[in-house]
Amino acid sequence: MEDTNTPATPKTVPTPEETPQKKKRSPNWLPDEEEQLAISWLHISEKPEFANNQSGEVFYRKIELDFNSHSKTHYRDFNQIKTRWVSLNTATLKFSAIYNNIERNPPSGTSPEDWLAAAKTAYHQQTKGLTFNSHSAWQKLRYAAKWRSDPHNEISGTATPVPIPSSDSLAPDDDGSDVTATGIYTPTTRSASFLSRPIGQKAAKKRRIDSSRADDVVSTATELAAIAKDCLTSANEGNDIRREKNDISKGLLKIEEKKLVLAKKKQIVDEKNQLVAEKNQIVAEKKQVVDKEHQQSETQMNDMKMLSQNKNLEDPEACRVILLIKEKIKNKWLARG
């Protein structure tokens, strides 16, 4: 039995000349580059020949030329332009679907800035943690028909977004086929047998994935808008609670200020009362001094009267008493001197 693990032909080791060199990684896309890519896409797609027998490759070649004619940051080749546009297109469409739903049913008391913040939050939740960073490019695309879907058309099923060439339409199996920028094959150069040929498994799988992604955006946009609306409502309620708390804090602060003023006034009154008490004490002390001096003056006057009494009294005993009193008065004043 033949060994199926043995290769039919021996492997050859490539020579250094045949070994491909590792491709240098291109620089990251900057916001101004994404914005210019969006402008170039809109500019090329608005031309009359866009939907008239124009292949997808020609379409992207024109975008490449327009982009590099205006962008002054980095040169971007065909593959870089096409790859970046696919991811940018998906992100901005998803974000627009969320934002448009919020804009059509905005919570009361909210502004466009609130809608934008809510849409970014909803996008972050829907994409499992991815942040929407293509804001400048979205600002250029948001008013185009493809990104500004009409809710009436969505209901009736007649929405006509701006077409974009798909990867299936860019590389058909038949090199002689004509592919328009809308992704429609023209049968002018195809045989009937080729037209009846079924689509390949990979192409069918990719088509199902692309369709599923678009359906996911539409089906979850309303739910995400409701979540964003609830977030905004909760944020507004939180703002009201914080506002009431601030008002209460201001009221308490005013009460504390009044208490401080009353305490200051009480301190001033207490100081005045203390001054009055000290003044009354000084007055009382002065009165005591005056009364004492007055008493001393009366004593002196009495003493002077006694000293001026005439010694010539008929009663010798009375005269003797007066002499003794005079002697005491003299001794008292001499002692003080």
Beta-ladder partners of 285: none
What was the pLDDT predicted at 160? 39
What pLDDT does 311 receive? 58
- CA distance linking residue 116 with residue 127, whole number of Å: 16
The alpha carbons of the chain give a radius of gyration, in whole angstroms, of: 54
Cα 166–Cα 171–Cα 173 angle in degrees, nearest 5: 125
CB atoms closer than 10 angstroms to residue 95? 25
Q: Are 134 and 29 in contact (CB under 8 A)?
A: no
**pLDDT confidence of residue 86:** 95
Q: Does residue 116 contact residue 100 with C-beta atoms inside 8 Å?
A: no
82 vs 164: CA distance, rounded Å: 11
Give 77-89 pLDDT, tens digit per residue.
999 999 999 999 9
Tell me which of 207 and 10 has the higher pLDDT: 207
The predicted-structure confidence for 161-198, as pLDDT tens digits, reads as follows: 434 333 333 333 333 333 333 333 333 333 333 323 44
Which residue did the predictor score with more confidence, 55 or 239? 239
| DSSP line for 130-162 | -----HHHHHHHTTSTTTS--HHHHHHT---PP
pLDDT score, position 165? 39
pTM above 0.95, yes or no: no
3 state DSSP class of 186: strand
